[in-house]
């Protein structure tokens, strides 16, 4: 059932297979088929790739980082262009995070209190104050299609006391973010925190739900916790999160992580992993993992993946790409990043088709059988 909250975004669920959902997020800037994966453009660019590359990969929505964009180039610069879309040359939807993850990841460079967070910028050491109100104001100036409340992401492991403090702070900040948000054409998502404690997660959602968010993100996972603990949280939330709004699992992850989350009703993902792995020649393929730096590929005439539509696989050999990587040619960064991102988008398209056909379980099992840390491709 279509449903709009606070904004002109509309989410519609088109098919279900178990808890998995095949849907669409509709924005004035375009429709995003879900489950969907967002490449991460921390400073307004997915490293090594331009907007045409992202489109070629099958990406339809990208993520920008509120804190890092506010530090460089600064909101004053981006505002001169009318917002982030025009500044980076991307015509599709954009989601901006709030800076909440940096509350954890930049722990040595910040101080936190009930009002907000003071960061010491990792680039030049200057102080930068981020409150829920300022996080929303920055995202409204960026003009993203989806913005996030400011939250406090606890580390893993965290004591029950640490989880309780961070959760209380996240709920307070969510209320303040909701009150501060004024841009009606911009969706606002709440973030369910609570560490790996299931009762805390359920309490977080129960408190956030009446605030009327356009969708819900699950934050604070993929921060070092064991996979079974992450899946236990998703299992606990899959029956309580609203059916008529999108569900976003932040910062995840490997192909297997996406598959297991889709099985539990997740609609939206982001992660730096595919492009980071691509830049390091650690490649996902339809036949398993391929580590292109291994010497065995020096004379290999085959493509990386015969089933992949990306330019590297369609035109070039493993031997040539191995050579480019060995000599440090920047071209390899683009080609291999584009390959891994294309793999992710092809994977999500396959999952969407499987949900529509009611065949997600066997397709998921086939994909999961390819996962492993060792090299699977010969």
Q: Which residues are catalytic?
A: 97, 270
* Contact between residue 153 and residue 193 where contact means Cβ atoms under 8 Å apart: yes
93 to 30, 112, 147, 348, 354: CA distances (angstroms): 7, 31, 11, 18, 25
- In whole angstroms, give the CA distance from residue 278 to residue 298: 18
Buried residues in 108-133 as b, exposed as e (16+ CB within 10 A): eebebeeebbebebeeeeeebebbbb
| Chain-centroid distance, C-alpha 220 | 12
Q: Which run of H or E residues covers position 119? A: strand 117-120
Distance in angstroms between the alpha carbons of the first and the last residue of the chain: 46
> CA 40, 371, 331: angle at the middle one, nearest 5?
45
Token pair for 75: 């909101």
Are 135 and 150 contacting, i.e. CB atoms less than 8 angstroms apart? yes
Question: To 5 degrees, how large is the angle CA 79–CA 84–CA 87?
Answer: 80
């Amino acid at each position: 059932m279509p449903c709009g909250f606070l904004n002109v975004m509309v989410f519609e669920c088109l098919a279900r297979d178990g808890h998995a959902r095949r849907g669409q997020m509709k924005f004035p800037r375009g429709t995003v088929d879900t489950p969907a994966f967002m490449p991460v453009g921390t400073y307004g660019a997915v490293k090594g790739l331009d907007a045409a590359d992202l489109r070629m990969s099958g990406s339809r929505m990208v993520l920008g980082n509120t804190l890092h964009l506010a530090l460089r180039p600064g909101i004053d610069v981006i505002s001169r262009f009318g917002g982030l879309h025009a500044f980076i040359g991307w015509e599709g939807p954009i989601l901006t995070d709030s800076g909440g993850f940096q509350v954890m990841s930049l722990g040595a460079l910040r101080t936190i209190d009930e009002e907000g967070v003071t960061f010491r910028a990792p680039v030049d050491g200057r102080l930068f104050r981020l409150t829920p109100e300022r996080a929303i104001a920055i995202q409204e100036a960026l003009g993203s299609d989806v913005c996030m409340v400011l939250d406090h992401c606890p580390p893993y492991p965290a004591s029950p006391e640490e989880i309780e403090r961070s959760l209380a702070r996240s709920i307070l900040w969510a209320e303040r973010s909701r009150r501060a948000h004024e841009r009606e054409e911009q969706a606002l998502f709440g973030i369910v925190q609570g560490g790996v404690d299931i009762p805390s997660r359920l309490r977080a959602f129960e408190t956030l739900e009446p605030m009327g968010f356009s969708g819900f993100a699950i934050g604070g996972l993929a921060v070092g916790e064991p996979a079974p603990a992450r899946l236990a949280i998703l299992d606990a939330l899959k029956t309580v999160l609203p059916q008529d709004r999108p569900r976003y699992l932040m910062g995840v992850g490997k192909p297997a992580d996406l598959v297991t989350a889709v099985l539990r009703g997740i609609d939206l993902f982001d992660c730096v992993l595919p492009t980071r792995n691509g830049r390091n020649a650690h490649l996902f393929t339809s036949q398993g993992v391929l580590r292109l730096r291994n010497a065995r590929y020096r004379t290999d005439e085959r493509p990386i993946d015969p089933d992949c539509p990306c330019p590297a696989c369609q035109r070039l050999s493993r031997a040539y790409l191995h050579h480019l990587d060995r000599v440090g040619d920047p071209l390899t960064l683009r080609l291999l990043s584009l390959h891994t991102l294309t793999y992710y988008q092809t994977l999500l398209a396959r999952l969407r088709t499987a949900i529509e056909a009611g065949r997600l379980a066997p397709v998921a099992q086939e994909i999961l059988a390819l996962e492993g840390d060792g090299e699977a491709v010969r």
